[in-house]
Chain A
Amino acid sequence: MTRIVSPRLAAYAGLAAIGLLAGLVLGRVELIALAAPFALAAVAGAALAREPDLHATLALDRERALEGEEVTATIELSSASGADRVDVLLQLPRALRAGTPNPRSVRLAPGEPRTFELSLQCTRFGAFVLGPLLVRSRDRLGFTSWETRLGGREPLRVYPNVEAVHALLAPYETQAYVGNQVSRAKSEGVEFADIRNWTPGDRVRKINWRASARRGGGLLVNEQHPERNTDVVLFLDTFVDVESDDDRGTLDMTVRAATSLAHLYLQRRDRVGLVSFGGYLSWLTPASGTKQLYRIVDSLLQMNIVLSFAAKGVEILPPRALPPKALVLALSPLLDQRSAAALLDLRARGFDLVVIEVSPVPFVRPATDELSDLSYRLWRLTRESLRARYEQAGVPVVEWVDGVPLNVPLEEVAAFRRHARPARA
Chain B
Amino acid sequence: MLAYAASREPRLAPLVSGIGAVGAVLLAFVLVRRTDELLPWALILLGSAYTVSLLVHGSSVDGGAPLVAAGLLVCAELAAWSLDERHSIAAERAVVVARAAALGALVAVSTAASGLIVALSLAPGSGLAWTVLGAAASVLVVGVAVRLARRPV
Contact = CB atoms under 8 A, between A and B. Distances in A.
Interface in B94-132: 94-95, 98-99, 102-103, 106-107, 109-111, 113-115, 117-118, 121, 128-129, 131-132
A36 interface: yes
* A contact residues, range: 35 or more
A33 B65 contact: yes
A23 interface: yes
A34 B47 CA distance: 8
A34 B146 contact: no
A84 B98 contact: yes
Contact of B139 (A6, A39, A84): A39
Nearest to A107: B94
B65 A34 contact: yes
A44 B144 CA distance: 8
A41 B73 contact: yes
Contact of B132 (A6, A20, A40): A20
A140 B89 contact: no
Contacts of A34: 47, 50, 65, 68-69, 72, 114
A46 B54 contact: no
Interface string B79-98: 01100100101111011001
Interface stretch (A8-16, A231-239, A341-349): A8-16
A48 B146 CA distance: 7
15 contacts: A8-B39, A15-B40, A26-B55, A27-B128, A29-B61, A33-B135, A36-B110, A36-B138, A37-B72, A37-B106, A40-B109, A41-B77, A84-B99, A87-B89, A104-B90
A8 B80 contact: yes
Given A36-B110, A37-B113, A24 B128 contact: yes
A105 interface: yes
A138 B102 CA distance: 13
Interface residues of B, number: 63
A28 B135 CA distance: 14
B117 A33 contact: yes
B147 to A, nearest CB: 4
B118 A106 contact: no
Interface of A: 6-8, 11-12, 14-15, 18-20, 22-24, 26-41, 43-44, 46-48, 50, 81, 84-85, 87, 101, 103-107, 110, 138, 140-142
A237 B42 CA distance: 61
B132 to A, nearest CB: 6
Given A24-B128, A28-B55, A140-B102, A105 B92 contact: yes
Q: Interface on chain A toward B: helix, strand, loop, or mixed SS?
A: helix
Contacts of B33: none
Across chains A and B, which 10 residue pairs bring their CB atoms closest together, nearest first?
A43-B143, A37-B110, A101-B90, A105-B91, A30-B65, A47-B147, A29-B121, A33-B114, A11-B40, A47-B146
Contacts of A104: 89-92
A206 B121 CA distance: 123
Contacts of B55: 26, 28
Contacts of A14: 40
Q: Interface on chain B toward A: helix, strand, loop, or mixed SS?
A: helix
B95 A105 contact: yes
Interface string B22-42: 000000000000001101100
Given A29-B131, A31-B51, A141-B99, A37 B39 contact: no
A43 B144 CA distance: 8
Contacts of B70: 37
A142 B80 contact: yes
Contacts of B128: 23-24, 27, 29, 32
Interface of B: 36-37, 39-40, 43-44, 47, 50-51, 54-55, 61-62, 65-66, 68-70, 72-73, 76-77, 80-81, 84, 87, 89-92, 94-95, 98-99, 102-103, 106-107, 109-111, 113-115, 117-118, 121, 128-129, 131-132, 135-136, 138-140, 142-144, 146-147, 150, 152
Contacts of A19: 47
A269 to B, nearest CB: 51
A7 B142 contact: no
A142 B36 CA distance: 13
A40 B128 CA distance: 19
Contacts of A23: 128, 132
B72 A7 contact: no
Given A11-B40, A14-B40, A33-B117, A105 B90 contact: yes
B69 A140 contact: no
Nearest to B113: A36
Nearest to B73: A37
Given A29-B118, A32-B131, A39 B37 contact: no
A107 B135 contact: no
A272 B139 CA distance: 78
B113 A140 contact: no
B150 A107 contact: no
A142 B50 CA distance: 28
Contacts of A26: 51, 55
Contacts of A28: 51, 54-55
A142 B81 contact: yes
A64 B59 CA distance: 77
